[in-house]
Amino acid sequence: MAAIAHKTGTNFTLYYNVLNYFKTIMSNHPSVEVVTQGSMSDFDTKEYPSYPIANITILSANFSENTTDFEIQLTVADKIKNLNNESDGRTNAQTIPLKGIDDVVDIHANTLSILNDLTAYTQRSVSGFEINSLTNCIPFEDSFNNGLAGWVVTFTLTTHNDRNRCLFFLINPDEEVFDISECISGTNYLATFNEEVNVGEVISTVKTPGASLTYSNLVCYSIDEKVNVPETEIDFSNLPVLALPVTNYETCEECELWINPKVWNTTPATWGSSPYADFRTWSTT
C-alpha cells in the first residue's frame, strides 16, 4: 500500500505531486484494482485482468496571485457483465426478473461511491488542497470500445503557490557585469544585479539567487570592477541588492555586522525596526 499523501510539507502546486497524490489515494482504495493516468481518449486502449479501474487527468492549470487551480478529472469504471437468472431460493435469495440483464446499475452505484470517497478525503483530510467548486459527476455506459461503465467527476482543485518572484533570475539587466569579492573569504565571482550598483560599494545579498531571505543565506560582497565577459562566464545573474538598513555599507566590516544581528529572533525584514531598533546602537559605536 502506498503512503497516504496528506503532509503539509508537500508542495502540491507541482504537477508531479498532484498526479502522485491522486494515484496514491486511488491505489489505496479497497475497491480499485487498477490506476492509470492520461487522456480519456486513451482510456479504452488497454484491457486489464481485473476491474474497477480509476484514471486521473489534469485538464488545465490556472495561476492566481498565490494559488494554483487545477481542473481535475477522475474516472472510475468497471467492466459490464451480463447477469443470468440461475439463482434459486436455496442458494441465492436474489431474483433477477429477466435473463440477460447486465450489472450497469450496480457498477454505477459502486463507482459513484468510490468517487465520493476520493473527493471527500481530498477535501477533508489533506491540508494542502481545497475543492471550492461543485464536483460535477456524469455517468457513462458503453462510451468506450471495451465495454466499460462508470462515472466521470470534474472539479477545481486549489493549492497554495507562493510564486516567489526571486525564485529564478532569467535576465541580465543592462548587460552590466561586475567582478565582486566575498567579504569574508575574498573569493571572486562575476555577477549582474537586479538594480544599479557602482564600483566600490559593499552590498548584502543572498548566497544563491532564489534562496530564502534568512540570516544563514545572507552574504556581503564588495563591488570591485565592471568587466566585459561572455554571458556564459557569469556566476550569478540578477542578484538582489538588500537594504539592511542601506544598500551600500561602504565597508565589509559594517556589512558583516548587519547580516549577523545581535537579536536572533528577528528576521531580515524586521531587523532595524521597532522594537529591535534599540539594538542597533552597536553599529555606530
Structural domains of the chain, with CATH: 15-160 (3.30.2000.10), 173-272 (no CATH)
Taking residues 166-193, report their average pLDDT: 77
Structure confidence at residue 1 as a pLDDT band (50, 70, 90): very low
Taking residues 112-135, report their average pLDDT: 86
pLDDT at 38: 87
Structure confidence at residue 112 as a pLDDT band (50, 70, 90): very high
Distances in Å between the Cα of 16 and the Cα atoms of 24, 38, 242, 280 are 12, 13, 34, 46
Q: Which of the listed ranges 65-69, 89-93, 104-108, 166-170 does the model predict with the highest average pLDDT?
A: 104-108
Q: For residue range 27-45, what is the model confidence (pLDDT) as tens digits?
A: 999 999 999 998 876 666 6
Q: For residue range 225-245, what is the model confidence (pLDDT) as tens digits?
A: 999 888 778 888 888 898 877
* Three-class secondary structure of residue 110 per DSSP: helix
* Three-class secondary structure of residue 108 per DSSP: helix
| pLDDT > 50? residue 262 | yes
Q: Are 117 and 153 in contact (CB under 8 A)?
A: no
Burial letters for 243-254: b for 16+ Cβ neighbours within 10 Å, e otherwise? ebeeebbeebeb
pLDDT at 147: 79
| pLDDT > 90? residue 116 | yes
| pLDDT > 50? residue 3 | no
Its pTM stands at: 0.53
- Determine the Cα–Cα distance for residues 54 and 131; give it in Å rounded to an integer: 19
More confident residue, 36 or 272: 36
pLDDT at 125: 80
pLDDT at 6: 43
| pLDDT > 60? residue 283 | no
Taking residues 260-269, report their average pLDDT: 66
| pLDDT > 80? residue 174 | no
Q: What value, to the nearest 5°, has the Cα angle with vertex 178 and ends 173 and 180?
A: 130
Q: Are 151 and 169 in contact (CB under 8 A)?
A: no
